[in-house]
Structure 1
Amino acid sequence: MVAEVLKPNVQDLQTDVIDLLEQISELMNRASTALSSDTSGNKYAEFEQQIRDEAKKVKHLELRMAIVAPMKAGKSTITNAIIGQEILPSRNSAMTTLPTEIILNAELTEPVLHLSAEVLSVFQETLLALRNKIEDLGMETVQEKLAQYPHLAKMPQQIQQWVGLTITAESKGCDHIINTLTSLNDIVRLCSILDPLADPIQYLTDTPRIYTPFWQLDKTKQQPKLGNLVIVDTPGPNEAGENLRLKNVVAEQLSKSSIVLIVLDFTQLKNEAAENVRKDVQKVIELRGKDNLYVLINKVDQRQEKDMTPEQVQQFVAAEFGIGDSGDTGRVFEISARRAFTAASFLLELQHNPNINLADMKTAKALAEQVFGIDWEEDFEEATARDLQTKAERLWKKSGFDPFLNGAITALMAEAAPRCLKSSLKVAHGRLLELSNDVQLRSSAINADEVKIRQEVGELEIDLQSIEQCRHQLQEIDSIKSNLYKRLEKILEDIKKQVQDSLKTYFYEEEYQRADNIKKGGMITQSFFSWASKKFNFVEIKSASSGIIEFTSMQKAEHFGEQAIASAKSSIIEPFLENVRQQAKKEIKQSRQKIQDSLETETKPIIERARQRLNENFHVNLSLPTPNLENESAGNIQVRISQKTKLVDQGYETKVIEKRDFWHWFGLVKKKEYISVKLPDKKEDYYIVSLPEIVDKSNQLIEDSIKNIKGGINKYLDEDFKQHIDRFFAELDSYLNNYRDTLLQAQQDQKKQTEERQKLVSELKSLQTEASQNIEKADSYLQRTSDLIRDKK
């Protein structure tokens, strides 16, 4: 046995695992060459390639770190500071709408943005849909809707003219990358404003990927390379905006990440922590859990004497979020992203251009302003490159970024690396066992009694037939599927009734919602009319109780109708549908377990018989997938707008008349009199939105969504269940067929000449010896990875 005296760190273990995988790959190559004369040689050639692929995974390990932040907390600046140059777009309003992956690679010379074929296709289709939408609405209406979004004002005309909106698969250099990402994010936001029910993000499974070099202050202290660090830039909890369904997209990215960094604004901690920030952090915890959550307190360079000290910040975060208590202080970092980015970008530019004049540097003035203070312009004129380099290095150290980066990388190594190593080791271990058992059985069978071999082959044929009969006779699977479908049907119908009732409450119970919330204990969901009164200050609710809402223009009525349905979708329909999906998955999970138990009961005796005869433990497990029940887009649903005409009472006007009156100058001078004259009623057009129709359209959304979920369930039961059960039996067949084929090959080996047969036996024993040694190493390394994972917990 291989004994490990000292428990190594994860870098040492990674090196050992890579060496072992390379040895196993060479062993599989030997087996393939030695047994090239028969069919098993091809199998070991496939094993060799598989092990090589696993070695690449370990060498190029991706350590994923997601960054989430409330809007304007400095998320993009933090990412740019890690890279050393500005690579992510930013503006005063919310910027990020879709996750972006940044892969750090020191071997690159310039950053490159890659968009997959899927991303390109989704956005090109979205641009076409937006072009049609703009034509339908008209440019005047479009600009009215974009009045609050000046940065989007030029896009509609560009889309119509197709100017400056060509999306390419690859963008090189920071400027091109920023322009491309800005366009993608603005397209998504524009779509959410002009067509609230459209949702291009729901079709994306890929994300934009930026491969970029990065800056390091002291390369001599660089840690051993442990793969690529992947930073995932995600939309913040309050950054998504209305009508952007990002929860599922963000949840998927967070679930793939080993650690999650949430950024908080130091200047806003006291003011907003009780409400906004705590809610934002809680949303992230709900998606990912807090065990792998780390907190960055940004903008600490703005700390004043009266503000919280670092110790108080630590206590505050621990109390408010349950993170970074006295026993776990290494999960809260105080940083200044602005200082870090200013320093890093200057030092990176200086590294690339060591002989450049300060006046020609793009980053020098920003650094001078940061480090010299109020007299920076005068000091900058007298400064040398060496002066600013020293200032930049000091500024970097004061930014707090070194402790943060070292702590984050340490956390990533402790969390992600052992799991990756364990996965690759298990694959290699399984292939080694198969090789070992194959050569051991074959070498012993060569000299075994030919009658005994023939008898064993016959037994294996019977086992294979029994497996096939078991496959066709398992009627319980059909029964489980039928009962599952019935239960899911009932769940769907019950939920549909609940959500329809909730829609009525949401739209109609205005007075109840506006009643004394203190006496009623408060309302969790904001009422529709309360939302609408804030969102649409132009709304004229003339008769809300009857469900008729009047508008002064067609455009206002149409916009209100769109936003009303979109509001119902996000506030009422989507939460209920998520409940449907969770209940359906729970039912399916229980049914999966029943099927697995049933198959195990039926197949276990067959496997046990083969195991006893062949002295081999079978490792075949039925792994049924979790269904994807995310509903598709609901299509184009519009509310009809009725145009009416009414007579508006214009009141009275005062007129002056003159008449003679004997009592007024004896009738010689006309007397002026003021009289009120009723003005004629004025015809006025107005536009009506029917609240009952909005409810009907919302119910149509429910029907369409339920239909999509049912379709997903049917597809899952009819296709995915069947495919995975077929795969289960195929694996059983493969195990039994493998041993049968090995015995049949041994029968052929017995017919070889004595010298040739002895040479083959010698080669098989050599392969067996080396396989056993590698199995011992793999067992040892698996134990070491388990220890690292246990230590992390």
Structure 2
Amino acid sequence: MQEQSIDLLRDEARRLLSLELGLLHHVQEGEGVLSDDRGDEHQTFSKANVTQEIGYLEGELAKIRELKMVLAVVGTMKAGKSTTINAIVGHEVLPNRNRPMTALPTLIEHTPGQVEPVLELKNCKPINDLIVQLGKVISSDRGDAALQNLERTDDMLDLLKLIDQRGSFKALYEGSENIFWFLKSLNDLVRLAAFLGVDFPFGSYSSIDDYPVIRIEFSHLGHAAGQGKLALLDTPGPNEAGQQHLRKMLKEQLKKASAVLAVMDFTQLKSDADEQVRKELDEIADIAEGRLFALVNKFDQRDRNGDSADQTRTFVAESLMNRRLDAADVYPVSSRWGYLASRAQQEIANHGKLPEAKRGQNAWVEDFGQLVLGMEWEDALQDTELVQRGASHLWKKSNFAEPLEKVIFKAHRQAAVMALSSAASKLVDTATRLARFLEVRDTALAKSAEELQEQIGSLRADIAMIDRLEQDSEESSQNALAEIKCEMSMTFTELAEAIKHEVGEGFKAGKRQEQQQAVARMQEQHAPTMAGLLKGAFSTWLGGEGARRARNGFDFEFDEKSPVINFDQKSEAEALLKKIEDGVHSIISDGEVELVKRMGEILKDFRITFAVDIEAEANKLIAGLNERLNRSGFSIDVKIPDTTPLTLRYTAGEVLRDSVDSKNRNVTRSRRSKGAWGTICSWFGTSDWGWEEYTVKQGYYAVDINKVRKAIDVSIEHLFKDLEASAADTIAQPLKEGLHTFFDQLKGSIESIRSDLQQSIRDQERSQDEQIALAGLLSSYKHRVVPIKRDSEELLRDVSLAGVPA
């Protein structure tokens, strides 16, 4: 039913786009209908901008035909991005090398029926021109000297040979091996150009239409009905050569992408590289929040003591991504297992068996065999049923089925809805403005020049009124933002006091535990070893040192006022910090809920004020304008930003990670003296006589509560600064932009009407016959645009109801 509905909506969108394009072409060609803007005029439709409008609609029509959805794939260092893409595709379309491989962003398009991959690079001339340029540099003395220091891998030597022989890249490559050669050579070409100081022509590849495209059928999608075309966008990583030239362009592509898949390395999540990973992910989350999914690769390398899948999801969502990602959108997987299983299943489905692995070809078969079938894998490959079961089991163990279903399949089905929504919105926008333009021009023909000048004067007064309303709204918005800033400051003062109390309570609990441990050590060390009357008598008589130790209770001086708490076990020290962390996190979480709630109330009050004082006046102004011009009104609504993205990204575990210090202390212990005297004293169980002292080093773990306080204070200070920056990004800037858009659209619409009336005055300078002919054209176009506008609005509603397929 979903597929039939999408097909009907797509047919309707095509029909309406064709009709609207046809009408615009007629308007463009109609004698006297369009003219050039003069001076400060901005007509709704002019000879210049109608060509742009036609281009926009033709672009929407092209997207409707293809219904393409792009999923950008980004990866942290050595996360296995290429392997992950191969697993999604079910075929090795990208080579795996130990160094960065994606010199240019590369599209991988799902193309049903395309069994073997093909790569197309339509715009290969800039690269071939670069090869000629590099050849000249290399043949020079400077280039020849520079090459002496070049790392000469086999791939680089192949590229140098190509340049020396004046070879060039082709526009089309077929088969995995040829594609691998092209991608590796392209990557080395970027590196060689940088090495020789020659600019790579990145500017020629600034559009997604210029990227290399690999077309192949994704094995798990096959011929599944999705109506939309799905493409993966393989993006350069942070260490790719030349990526700084692509940074701005890539950010734009990530913004436009339907979704973003961030590939991470399970084995590196908590390593020393964690800070670099966090920085990379923060940049990605800034761009793709709400459309971001995380694939935690190499989960197959988890040992018995490693985090479980649920623990990994929580860690990534809350610690690495600072709760900017839902744990349900984090998928621990093994891309290598997923790729091997998928490839094996595909080979069996297509050929009934796996191919032979020999002479360096089909190396994946050996990897699969050793992993799934064991030491005798070569013989076991002949048992197709066994191989099929093994591939199915490996696919299940890879955990790839869940993200494939919830991210990839859904994206494929969603492609049609997104493209249709974009087309329907553009149809409504163009039809509405065209209807208004034709209405104004047609109505104005029946008015005198004096009446039109009076209307133009009124419109200028309207624009002046809007300027005053804009000033009032800016003052009101500044007051709201000042109130929000004050609220944040008060909240953080309260948080700081509550956290100070929480840390103090944790310190007291730690000191109590420290004292209890010291008492237990003393009792264990000096426990009596012999009972009896003589032992009791001699213990009492020979007291002294033992009594001193009993009073002290420790092997080292205990100072309850010292900020340092000492523990015998690291786990005990970490448990104290964990308790403090949990308390601080709870305080901040509660504060966050209250802060966001209060900000929402402030913005709600501003929205009410805006509606009563500003929007109502604007609507009154528009109503008067409509009445004057005898035409339909239009509605514009300011967008007040959502406060949900405004969160306090506190990660206590990171703040207190280094608060436990491992130390050693000298501990004095006692043992029986050697010889007869020690033996005799042992008979009587003496506490002091017959003993000798010795010193040993004993490990302990210290928590400096002042260091903890300082770490938390610094973190809270950074937290407040981050919140201020976040408030600027998520509230102040969107509010400013929303108000600007409101008034810009309002003034722009009125300014367009004024410009259209100016043209109408010039229309009256035409001859009577010309005016009659123009009136006929305008009336004809008006009648044609009405059903287009009506049907476009209905299409937009229907697409909205269709929503995203489940």
TM-score (norm 1): 0.54
Aligned pairs for 1:663-674 within 5 A: none
Q: 1:219 to 1:85 in 2, by over 3 A?
A: closer
Q: 1:129 to 1:737 in 2, by over 3 A?
A: farther
Aligned counterparts of 2:229 and 2:117: Cα–Cα separation in 1? 14
* Letter in structure 1 aligned against 2:177: D
Aligned counterparts of 1:301 and 1:364: Cα–Cα separation in 2? 19
Aligned counterparts of 2:242 and 2:459: Cα–Cα separation in 1? 55
Residue 177 of structure 1 is matched in structure 2 by 179
| Contact 1:110 1:173 (8 Å CA) reproduced | yes
* Letter in structure 2 aligned against 1:615: R
Aligned pairs for 1:572-651 within 5 A: 612-617=628-633
| Contact 2:417 2:799 (8 Å CA) reproduced | no
Q: 2:73 aligns with which of 51, 60, 67?
A: 67
After superposition, give the CA deviation of every residue in 1:129-167 in whole Å (9 maximum; x if it has no partner).
464156233546413x224x534552574265235x411
Aligned counterparts of 1:252 and 1:245: Cα–Cα separation in 2? 13
1:210 aligns with 2:223: no
| Contact 1:199 1:245 (8 Å CA) reproduced | no
* Letter in structure 2 aligned against 1:378: D
| Contact 1:112 1:173 (8 Å CA) reproduced | yes
Residue 102 of structure 1 is matched in structure 2 by 108
| Contact 2:445 2:760 (8 Å CA) reproduced | no
- How many pairs align? 522
Partner SS, residue 79 of structure 2: coil
Residue 425 of structure 1 is matched in structure 2 by 424
Residue 262 of structure 1 and its aligned partner are, at CA, apart by 1.8
1:250 aligns with 2:250: yes
Aligned pairs for 1:209-288 within 5 A: 209-217=212-220, 222=224, 224-225=226-227, 227-237=228-238, 239-240=239-240, 245-272=245-272, 274-286=274-286, 288=287
| Contact 2:109 2:231 (8 Å CA) reproduced | yes
Residue 338 of structure 1 and its aligned partner are, at CA, apart by 1.2
430-439 or 183-192, which deviates more: 430-439
Residue 92 of structure 1 and its aligned partner are, at CA, apart by 1.9
* Letter in structure 1 aligned against 2:281: V
Q: Percent identity over the alignment? A: 25
Residue 709 of structure 1 is matched in structure 2 by none
After superposition, give the CA deviation of every residue in 1:82-130 in whole Å (9 maximum; x if it has no partner).
222222232122222322122222254543322243x531452255146
Residue 455 of structure 1 is matched in structure 2 by 447
1:347 aligns with 2:364: no
Aligned pairs for 1:358-369 within 5 A: 362=362, 364-369=365-370
Aligned pairs for 1:507-526 within 5 A: none
Q: 1:31 to 1:749 in 2, by over 3 A?
A: farther
1:120 aligns with 2:151: no
Q: 1:278 to 1:373 in 2, by over 3 A?
A: farther
1:312 aligns with 2:317: no
| Contact 1:14 1:58 (8 Å CA) reproduced | no
Q: 1:353 to 1:319 in 2, by over 3 A?
A: same
Residue 379 of structure 2 is matched in structure 1 by 378
Aligned pairs for 1:714-753 within 5 A: 735-736=756-757
Residue 777 of structure 1 is matched in structure 2 by 794
| Gap regions ≥5 residues in structure 2 | 35-44, 468-619, 638-747
* Letter in structure 2 aligned against 1:302: Q
Residue 740 of structure 2 is matched in structure 1 by none
Residue 489 of structure 1 is matched in structure 2 by none
Aligned counterparts of 2:764 and 2:214: Cα–Cα separation in 1? 51
Aligned counterparts of 1:367 and 1:188: Cα–Cα separation in 2? 34
Residue 684 of structure 1 is matched in structure 2 by none
* Letter in structure 1 aligned against 2:234: D
TM-score (norm 2): 0.53
| Contact 1:65 1:261 (8 Å CA) reproduced | yes
Residue 203 of structure 1 and its aligned partner are, at CA, apart by 5.4
After superposition, give the CA deviation of every residue in 1:412-450 in whole Å (9 maximum; x if it has no partner).
4799766644432222113433565688889x98xxxxx
Aligned pairs for 1:185-196 within 5 A: 185-195=187-197
Q: 1:56 to 1:355 in 2, by over 3 A?
A: same
Aligned counterparts of 1:213 and 1:356: Cα–Cα separation in 2? 20
Aligned pairs for 1:543-562 within 5 A: none
Residue 200 of structure 1 and its aligned partner are, at CA, apart by 4.0
1:146 aligns with 2:150: yes
Q: 1:84 aligns with which of 90, 108, 114?
A: 90
After superposition, give the CA deviation of every residue in 1:381-439 in whole Å (9 maximum; x if it has no partner).
x423x443343233223322221122223774799766644432222113433565688
Residue 204 of structure 1 and its aligned partner are, at CA, apart by 3.5
Q: 1:85 to 1:99 in 2, by over 3 A?
A: same
Aligned counterparts of 2:31 and 2:305: Cα–Cα separation in 1? 78
After superposition, give the CA deviation of every residue in 1:270-311 in whole Å (9 maximum; x if it has no partner).
33453343233234335x254333211112222221221112
Residue 567 of structure 1 is matched in structure 2 by none
Residue 348 of structure 1 and its aligned partner are, at CA, apart by 3.1
| Contact 2:229 2:415 (8 Å CA) reproduced | no
Partner SS, residue 154 of structure 1: helix
Q: 1:319 to 1:439 in 2, by over 3 A?
A: closer
After superposition, give the CA deviation of every residue in 1:479-512 in whole Å (9 maximum; x if it has no partner).
xxxxxxxxxxxxxxxxxxxxxxxxxxxxxxxxxx
Residue 764 of structure 1 and its aligned partner are, at CA, apart by 8.6
| Contact 1:25 1:49 (8 Å CA) reproduced | no
Aligned counterparts of 1:244 and 1:34: Cα–Cα separation in 2? 46
Aligned counterparts of 1:431 and 1:241: Cα–Cα separation in 2? 43
Partner SS, residue 347 of structure 1: helix
Partner SS, residue 140 of structure 2: helix
1:329 aligns with 2:327: yes
RMSD across aligned C-alpha pairs, in angstroms?
5.4
Residue 343 of structure 1 and its aligned partner are, at CA, apart by 2.3
Aligned counterparts of 2:126 and 2:206: Cα–Cα separation in 1? 12
Q: 1:12 to 1:303 in 2, by over 3 A?
A: farther
Residue 21 of structure 1 and its aligned partner are, at CA, apart by 1.9
| Contact 2:93 2:176 (8 Å CA) reproduced | yes
After superposition, give the CA deviation of every residue in 1:346-372 in whole Å (9 maximum; x if it has no partner).
333444445887689946444323320
Residue 497 of structure 1 is matched in structure 2 by none
Residue 186 of structure 1 and its aligned partner are, at CA, apart by 0.4
Aligned counterparts of 2:16 and 2:766: Cα–Cα separation in 1? 24
Residue 698 of structure 2 is matched in structure 1 by none
Q: 1:372 to 1:413 in 2, by over 3 A?
A: closer
| Gap regions ≥5 residues in structure 1 | 1-7, 446-451, 477-603, 622-726
Partner SS, residue 271 of structure 2: helix
Aligned counterparts of 1:276 and 1:321: Cα–Cα separation in 2? 11
* Letter in structure 1 aligned against 2:447: Q
* Letter in structure 1 aligned against 2:277: V
Residue 182 of structure 1 and its aligned partner are, at CA, apart by 1.3
Q: 1:141 to 1:413 in 2, by over 3 A?
A: closer
| Contact 2:16 2:792 (8 Å CA) reproduced | no
Aligned counterparts of 1:108 and 1:740: Cα–Cα separation in 2? 61
Which structure has the larger Rg? 2
| Contact 2:106 2:214 (8 Å CA) reproduced | no
